[in-house]
Amino acid sequence: MLTPGRSGACDVAPAADSAATPGFHFLQTPGPTNVPGRVLRAMGAPTIDHRGPQFASLTLEILAGMQELLRTDQPVVIFPASGTGAWEAALVNTLTPGARVLAFDTGHFARLWAEVASRLGFDAELIDGEWSRGVSESELERRLSADPRGELAAVLLVHNETSTGVVNDIASCRAAIDRSGHPALLLVDTVSSLGSIDYRHDEWRVDVTVGASQKGLLLPSGLSFNVPSERALAAAKVAGGARAYWDWRPVLEANSQGYFPYTPPTNLLFGLREALSMLREEGLDAVFVRHSRHGAATRCAVDAWGLQTVCQESERASAVVTAVLAPDGSDEREIRRVILDRYGVSLGAGLGALAGKAFRIGHIGDFNDAMLIGVLGTVELGLGAAGVPCDRSGVAAAVRWLAG
């Protein structure tokens, strides 16, 4: 088994921000994440002809690797884009403008996806939700049952809500949709769970999975993914809106021979091949367990500091990001500023309704116990330096948990 983290920050460390801050800069946002040295080196290889035979075998190998990662036999569509592009692609391929879609106000990214849908001319209904708990399956079932004419064309769910650190139970949401007997397509965002939290496209009968490269997939931003089910592919044949760049059909056709209908980001694809190898070598199950240990250890530290996480349901707590509420009278922006300026660690900002209220500790991607202890130790130092009242026993609690 590989030692995650060894090949990353300790191997090809990102440059320190300035000569005044020696040592490694820790990128502990929940994405982009620390890119392992192996992946950086793979991306540094000379670019090859994207119409040549070598390229076709690269594409076919990567597409098979992505199917393995997403636990699917369905085709995987890769776009040179960030996750937002893949959100748009999922919508425009399956739905006709004016179609109604259902989303839940359970975090910044859930809201943003619904907003993207509205801006594209879909009729997005955003159901009130709790940012501290995630999507209510009973509410989902109730809303779909109240639509006997099947006017809602799709349900948009975020698997791991990166702004809150809450994981939605996609299998249970699928079961709720099934109980309602509603035909809506199920579209799921795995941007911050792909490659770090267990996810099963086929088993959970997801219609379009949306993903991106810059988090658990160990790459910089720039690749995003759609996985369409058979139903989604059928919907794509009749969807009535204009699409060109995001159209799955020319991509699938060219991919079948190992090519793309436009100039692909070859060096990111070199990186993806290496990242998939690293995940395979460690073993996907081991990758998931590693993240979940780090999530649990982080929550032990937060608890010992006397602070609270945004997520209020332990069984929904994210393995990859912990959003921590800044206590009354303190501002997460100031806490993060002190931690970055004094100790060179970047934490995730509070997003949307949590701006100023919660900072986020990313424990995702190429990351190991030593890095986690370093990051938690730094947060503990930073909380003290920022004058936030807290018990200095968080690191000890995390270490005890990791040891036990």
Residues at the interface with ligand PLP (CB under 6 A):
31, 82-84, 109, 158, 162, 189, 191-192, 212, 221
- Kindly tell me which of 30 and 374 has the beta carbon lying closer to ligand PLP: 30
- Kindly tell me which of 192 and 229 has the beta carbon lying closer to ligand PLP: 192
Structure tokens at 334: 């100031």
CB of residue 80 to ligand PLP, shortest distance in Å: 12
CA distance 109 to 318: 15
Between the alpha carbon of residue 190 and those of residues 37, 83, 158, 225, the distances in Å are: 24, 9, 7, 9
CB-closest chain residue to ligand PLP: 83
Q: State the residue for tokens 């060096």.
A: 267
Structure tokens at 193: 């769970």
Between the alpha carbon of residue 189 and those of residues 206, 229, 287, the distances in Å are: 10, 14, 20
- Kindly tell me which of 210 and 325 has the beta carbon lying closer to ligand PLP: 210
Question: Which secondary structure element, helix H or strand E, spans residue 324, and what is its range?
Answer: strand 321-325
CB of residue 31 to ligand PLP, shortest distance in Å: 5
- Kindly tell me which of 112 and 390 has the beta carbon lying closer to ligand PLP: 112
Residue pair 191/217 in contact by the 8 Å Cβ criterion: no
- Kindly tell me which of 161 and 274 has the beta carbon lying closer to ligand PLP: 161
Map residue 79 onto helix, strand or coil. Answer: strand
- Kindly tell me which of 206 and 212 has the beta carbon lying closer to ligand PLP: 212
CA distance 274 to 121: 39
CB of residue 399 to ligand PLP, shortest distance in Å: 29
Give the DSSP per-residue string, 277-313: HHHHHH-HHHHHHHHHHHHHHHHHHHHHHT-EES---
Determine how β-strand 308-309 pairs with β-strand 223-228: unpaired
CB of residue 366 to ligand PLP, shortest distance in Å: 17
- Kindly tell me which of 157 and 383 has the beta carbon lying closer to ligand PLP: 157
CA distance 209 to 313: 25
CB of residue 288 to ligand PLP, shortest distance in Å: 17
- Kindly tell me which of 141 and 189 has the beta carbon lying closer to ligand PLP: 189
CB of residue 34 to ligand PLP, shortest distance in Å: 16
CB of residue 360 to ligand PLP, shortest distance in Å: 10
CA distance 47 to 56: 14
CB of residue 185 to ligand PLP, shortest distance in Å: 18
